[in-house]
Amino acid sequence: MDLILSMHPMARAWLLDGPLSSYVGAFQALLERGRYAEGSSETALRAWSHFAHWMAKCQVSAEQIDEALVEQFLDSHLPRCDCHPAALRTRSGLSASLGHLLALLREQHVIVELPGPSGPIAEELNRYNVHMRDARGLAIGTREDRLVLVGRLLQCKFAGKAIAIGELQPEDVRASSQPSSRGSAAGRIPARSLLRCGPTSDTAGPAVTQ
């Protein structure tokens, strides 16, 4: 089913003729790679459509999008929104989908990366994120969940010292893989999928694989 064709004509026009039109194809590909449920994909596209409509009214380009602009949309526009009824107004759905938008625009170098933490653990997590994105094609939400899990594991085991993946034991992974309060699938990744013995390097690929 073509979700864009099934959208309300007004919402579809906001999406395809607005300031985010150049990135709709990449967003659809991201949803397909992540195997999002049809309902979740429909919500995401409607969220982008509403945001694009507001951007057009405010004369904002994609290159100007950042966290502050998203907060302005959610905190100032949404509570008093008088857009066409086709506009998605669910804050949770809008917030999640616009988080994906920010991540996608940064991946495509449309907007600048946020300054991130530095150090061995941060570098390891960055390699793992690139691996999940490029080699595994995992969705942004899935990657974020797994980065939280792996970051917790590395922080508990290697805080303040060099990372030596070969020192990790299955029980270390299982201890950090207990389901989180969010109940995410990432909290249930089996130990064997997170361990790979051997030293890390920029050329050998991520030390933590899945």
Q: What is the pLDDT of residues 55-90, one digit of tens each?
A: 999 999 999 999 999 999 999 999 999 999 999 999
pLDDT score at 182: 44
pLDDT score at 175: 66
Helix 38-58 and helix 91-107, axial crossing angle in degrees, nearest 10: 80
Q: Which of 200, 209, 123, 126 is nearest to 165 (CA)?
A: 200
Spans of the chain, pLDDT less than 70: 1, 115-118, 172-210
pLDDT score at 203: 37
pLDDT score at 198: 33
pLDDT score at 82: 95
Q: Tokens for 30, please give them.
A: 């991201």
Give dist(CA 193, CA 102) in Å, integer: 29
pLDDT score at 15: 95
Amino acid, single-letter form, for residue 153: L
pLDDT score at 118: 63
Give dist(CA 169, CA 122) in Å, integer: 21
pLDDT score at 195: 46
